[in-house]
Chain A
Amino acid sequence: MRYLPKSPADREAMLKAIGLRTVDELFAPIPAEYRLNRDLKVPRQMAESEIVDYFRQRSRENGEGYTSFLGAGAYAHYRPVIIDSLISRGEFLTAYTPYQAEISQGTLQSIFEFQTMICELTAMEVANASMYDGSTAAAEAVMMAVRLTGRRSVIVARSLHPEYREVLATYATHQGMPLSVSGFGDDGRVNLKELEKSITPETACVLIQSPNFFGTIEDVAAIAEIAHKNGAMLVVSIAEAVSLGIVEPPREADVIAMEAQSFGVPLGFGGPYCGVIATREKYVRQMPGRLVGQTVDKQGRRGFVLTLATREQHIRREKATSNICTNQALVALMVNIFMTVYGKIGLKELAKQNLAKTAYAAGEFAKQGKLLFAGAPRFNEFVVQTKEDPQAINDRLLEHKIVGGLPLKKFYPELGNAALWCCTELTTRTGIDSAVKSAAEREGSLRSAKEESVEEVAR
């Protein structure tokens, strides 16, 4: 086996040193009746070239070469080449969690820089070293708010990613945290009146997403006011990190739960991604996850360590703020390198291009069909309502090697024949034009919806 660095003679010598004759004797502690006396049913040992062939073949069966208009929590942005060059360095790739600070300063300093940049972009004071993804970060941020307020019930915006809502429901089930959902108005944003009515003295926090699942930017200040007036916290989920280049961060939030996948992380069929939680300094001791802090060594030299570990499971066991142990360090490094490459000016310019592409695409679709939530500002995503079932439109587009917007019927039946379309800087004008053309191919499939002026959005 090519990964094993021992010759038969080595094994013999080692057995002899231990005082054994056969390897089987090493397994004597396992009762004989449970030992496996056959080969595992796994593929036979393959050569490297065969493994590469196998995955290339799977890749060809996996949407290779399609133009996609999918977003909805997973975004296709350009990944600078140096991200992979740098994360492929074995010293990053094959290192463990940096508990031994003296020989982990590379990882520790890079996380410290990551935490700093996340703070700069979110306008928060502290950020952790990463969480599994945006959905679990949102659930953990809510649990943090529950601990901080001593209240238990939670209001969740219906415009939050539906899968994030499902994850929160799973986490909340056994925490005694009643969840209620707050609907959206005609502009696709949280309905403030409804929110005002549903908030109670028991509300620990309001959880929203901005830009929300429909791509519209929430009125964070107004929502924060309602939450804070009632002694509740505001937790804001950000799923499209590139928006932070041009959209005001939710400064009024108490906790931000982010998905940083947009910053240089491949789509990868849904993971691994990079969640992160950012908050105010005064809340740091209730934060879940690892934190890197700056300190000095015995000679007074600057160095970095994992800190505030008394929040964590390996110290506090059942009293920890979370059970999280392994996080997304290498993915956070991708994010870190991406943020460094684009930096202060590039991120803004990049976000602007995203804005322009989306504005163009939304405009082209609006000429043909009905653009929902047109009244609110948006980033990267927009909802198009059609007469024809979006599934049928998408089937037609697929023949042209185009993956259309995400049909919303499964998540938002009240929106009827609606789909969520997404553009990024990688979307081309030609791509947009041919998608609009193919979508409108069946006469009137888009136009009719507009003319019939499909009735108002339900909540």
Chain B
Amino acid sequence: MAVPGTPIDAPPPGIARLRRHEWLSVLSRAVRTRRGTVGLSLMALVVAIAVVGPFIAPNSPTEFVTAPFSGPAPGTPLGGDALGRDVLSRVLAGGWLILLMAAAATLFGVGAGAAAGISAAYLRGWADALIMRSVDVVLAFPSLVFALLLVSIIGPKLWLIVLAVGFSHAPQVARVLRSSTLDISERDFVKAVELQGVKPRLIMAREILPSLITPLTVEAGLRLTYSIIIVAGLSFLGFGQPPPAPNWGLMINENRIGLQLNPWGVVVPAALIAVLTIGTNTFSDAVARVALGVGRQAEEITPLEGHVLVAPR
């Protein structure tokens, strides 16, 4: 039943000319909510600093310019770090790789997970059992532990961290997408097309996949937040970029012994990471809310709702 007050603007007629890019409208409506605006602004702020930062840094991030843990001074507005390097320059230069790695890990994890989940639901039978058993196995490793295990075998390679983080997300994504797919494939509107003898592959592509794009969008947002957390966490533990590279996670660890002398070396990178993850999380929450509203209207409740509320990292 339509929610009272929803706009009913009849789109122009025509059969093939119209396609409803629902996820685009979900995104644009999410941006216009208060949470969406706040989330997106926070994200944009940190992304801007990370991307533009390396070009405007006053000093080289690896050059020793002042005394270790010296406080803010004219040339070094945020003071010096554990080795006397410029905190501001290291902050400006130390974010882009985290962003890149987190984005890549999300892409890989959501892609792999969606493929696994949708195929499990679609193929059913033994393929389903096999995929879901593997999902259980991967789930038995906490994400960070899984990455640590791989690092301990192969060494702290950046590509490995991307793969490990992505791979540890895949099971959660697979579970959500599998249950969404199963749920949708039992709907009457899918049965109506099955009754015509349309090939399962076509049913999948034309009837089911369009309905999955919204859960996929929400899932991607959620996983991006967790990817940032794990990628930065691994750097913090010393298994990311090796020193002397500037990296927000690594900086926090390097500078925390001098907290009482110059806290900026810890506070600023920690705050940037926090603002970034709060931003991504707030934005994906806004998307999820809008998406759920859309689902309700179509008399359709996906497993999203429970998932968004529940999923721990």
A binds B: no
Q: Which residues of A contact B (CB under 8 A)?
A: none
